[in-house]
Amino acid sequence: MQTQVGIIGGGPSGLCLARLLSLAGIRSIILERQTREYVEARIRAGILEQGMADLMRRAKVGERMDKEGLLHDGIVLTFDGREERIDMAALTGGKQVMVYGQTELTKDLYDAVLADDNITVIFETRDVHPTGFLDGRPQLDFVKDGQQTRITCDYIAGCDGYHGASRAAVPRTMITEYERIYPFGWLGLLSETPPVHEELIYANHKRGFALCSMRSHTRSRYYLQVGLDEKIEDWSDERFWDELKKRLPEHIAANLVTGPSIEKSIAPLRSFVAEPMRFGNLFLVGDAAHIVPPTGAKGLNLAASDMYYLSTALIAHYNEGRDDLLDRYSETALRRVWAAVRFSWWFTSIMHKFNEDPIEHKIQLAELDYLMSSTAGKTTIAENYVGLPFDPTF
């Protein structure tokens, strides 16, 4: 088989990249390890920055998102019994974020990609192995239905997440990896209940962090900071709701509507960056190159700038014969990556309980008190939360 761009991974990064390329007449083949149903069912991101929402529109898959997504102007921080609103729109010249689940976004992308003549998707691939990308002869070897198969292509996009095959294929001497693992995880619960509040609530509490999010007016997503040794089977729905109430101010907890969980899972928290993001004709995109702790809702939104830069650079290569943007991809993408890594680390560090030492909590409360008393403090949260701009020279 032959194509222009071989894409490993059919998550949001691979699917959206393929669409952006196709609309410029560029062909691609996507290799996905799982089935479509499996990928669509993964409960992950819920908050899209304007940059990601604009990319969906550019990829002509934004129609349902614009109809069903909820636009939010602000978020609420609670700490020390206080409830403080960050009016993001007022602090950023009108910028908003959109509540639209990754499950829905992935469905919309698959509907478009599977109907697109420029894109082929091969599901349930095994043993994907990119080779030749350092010698200008990129190939993707893989097994499908027990059959060894090969794709030759001009470029490979590694969109296969943190545990994927693309980063693993890079010689260790060519890559530097930066990593921090946090001493806690997030226990998430999805329920068919109305959200406790019309905006998201990020709660700093001496028992640990909690987050009240949503997917719609009738579906809620809640998270609790839990220890790394916690097991999902030890968390009945009742225990989850009881703990959540304890971490929210009383008047908010009083409004919480509880119900049976649809999904419950524990995710570890990690900061990770691989540098560079280009190796010859192989480019890393999204979670394959970087992971942030979820506190700032940045993971998918960070993949968005990678998709934007790489699609723009590949379109310039194919349609204008220019390679300068491909040459600048890694450096440009990494600049925004590190900015989001910093914000996600910082927001995590002021909102979570790291240890039993009471001075840590007191210092967090002093920092939050200061931030809330200062327009500059609130603005720094707002600007980062709505998303830093993409590089205008791309």
Instruction: Provide the annotated active-site residues.
Output: 72, 202, 294, 298, 385
Q: Is the peptide bond before 276 cis (omega within 30 degrees of 0)?
A: yes
CA atoms in the 13 A half-sphere facing the CB of 165: 19
Between 21 and 109, CB nearer to ligand DHB: 109
The only residue of 5, 99, 128, 341 in contact with ligand FAD, by rule CB under 6 A: 128
* Residues 6+ positions from 268 with CB-CB distance below 8 Å: 181, 182, 185, 228
Considering only residues 129 through 158, tell me which ones interact with ligand DHB, judged by CB under 6 A. Answer: none
Residue closer to ligand FAD (CB basis): 106 or 364: 106
The rounded distance, in Å, linking the Cα atoms of 29 and 151 is 9
Quick one: 21 or 203, whose CB is closer to ligand DHB?
203
Q: What is the DSSP letter of 2?
A: B
Specify burial of residue 237 (Cβ count, 10 A radius: 0-12, 13-18, 19+).
Answer: middle
The listed partner (ligand FAD, ligand DHB, none) that binds 300, CB under 5 to 8 Å by sort, is ligand FAD
Is 384 a binder of ligand DHB (CB under 6 A)?
A: no
Answer yes or no whether residue 213 interacts with ligand DHB by CB under 6 A.
yes
- Write out the H or E segment, with its range, that includes residue 167: helix 165-168
Q: Nearest to ligand FAD by Cβ — which residue?
A: 11
Using CA atoms in the order 119, 120, 124, 130, what is the torsion angle rounded to 10 degrees?
-80
- Shortest Cβ 346–ligand DHB spacing (Å): 14
Residues in contact with ligand DHB, shown as a per-residue x/- string from 17 to 46 under the rule CB under 6 A: ----------------------------xx
Binding residue for ligand FAD (CB under 6 A) from 161, 195, 208, 387? 161
HSE of 370, CA atoms in CB hemisphere, 13 A: 8
Q: Dihedral of CA 335/384/187/356: which sign?
A: positive
Residue 30, C-beta contacts closer than 8 angstroms, at least 6 positions apart: 7, 8, 9, 10, 14, 15, 18, 113, 119, 120, 121, 122
| Window 275-314: contact mask with ligand FAD (x via CB under 6 A) | -----------xx------x--xxxxx-x-----------
Nearer to ligand DHB, 222 or 309 (CB): 222
Torsion-angle region of 391 (φ positive above 0: left; ψ -120 to 50: alpha; else: beta): beta
Count of residues of this chain found to bind ligand FAD when the rule CB under 6 A is applied: 37
Residues in 283-312 at the binding interface with ligand DHB, rule: CB under 6 A: 294-297
What's the chain's Rg over C-alpha atoms?
21
> Which is closer to ligand DHB, CB of 209 or CB of 308?
209
Shortest Cβ 373–ligand FAD spacing (Å): 28
Residue ranges in 14-33 that form contacts with ligand FAD under rule CB under 6 A: 14, 31-33
- Which one of residues 21, 47, 153, 307 is an interface residue with ligand DHB (CB under 6 A)? 47
Residues counted in the chain = 394
Q: Which residues within the stretch 229-268 sit at the binding site for ligand FAD (CB under 6 A)?
A: 267
Residue corresponding to tokens 């993949």 = 303
Residues making contact with ligand FAD (CB under 6 A): 8-14, 31-34, 39, 44-47, 102, 125, 128, 159-161, 163-165, 186, 188, 267, 286-287, 294, 297-301, 303
Binding stretches for ligand DHB (CB under 6 A):
45-47, 200, 211, 213, 221, 294-297
